[in-house]
Amino acid sequence: MQLWMWLVAGGALLVAEMLTVDLLFASLAFSAFVAAIANALGANMAVQGFVFAVAALLSLLILRPIALKNLKKSTPDFSTNVDALIGAPALALTAIDDLSGQVKLSGEIWSARSDSGAIAQDARVEVVAIEGATAVVKKKG
């Protein structure tokens, strides 16, 4: 195989990797580039194929699991924005019914509505959903 063929194969495998992002094609692209080096050093086709196979096995069995493990390391799951408000405690500033009311939620005053009937002023409530700028609440406890 010609040097340029190994390089094209490696490039095509890298493009495939960009579309899948699972490091399988990256491992094979690495192997193609190693085989290209063998070609550049004057190795015959059988040696190039053997180098490709060994590099593929090593990268798939050793390098890929290590890379996937490090790639999947991330911050712990946590909610952001309005998702973080679901389940949050709040205080009913006014009486709340299924149409209107106000709560103090995370230090801010929010319009609110109840999903479980009338709630008295000064009652402790819990946010069950956020709909636009309205907190949907239920009586706590």
In angstroms, the CA 77 to CA 56 distance is: 34
> What pLDDT, in 10s, does the model give residues 90-107?
999 999 999 999 999 989
Tell me which residue of 85, 97, 98, 90 sits closest to 124, measured CA to CA. Answer: 90
**CATH for the 81-139 domain, from 2.40.50.140, 3.40.140.10, 3.40.50.300, 3.40.50.410:** 2.40.50.140
CA distances from 68 to 24, 30, 64, 91 (A): 10, 15, 6, 45
* Burial (CB count <10 Å: 0-12, 13-18, 19+), residue 10: buried
Amino acid at position 65, single letter: P
Length reported for the chain: 141
> What pLDDT, in 10s, does the model give residues 8-30?
999 999 999 898 878 889 999 99
Q: Are 139 and 125 in contact (CB under 8 A)?
A: yes
Give this prediction's pTM: 0.51
DSSP conformation class of 98: S
Question: Average pLDDT over the chain, rounded to whole?
Answer: 90
Sorted by where each begins, the domain ranges of the chain are 3-71, 81-139
27 SS3 class: helix
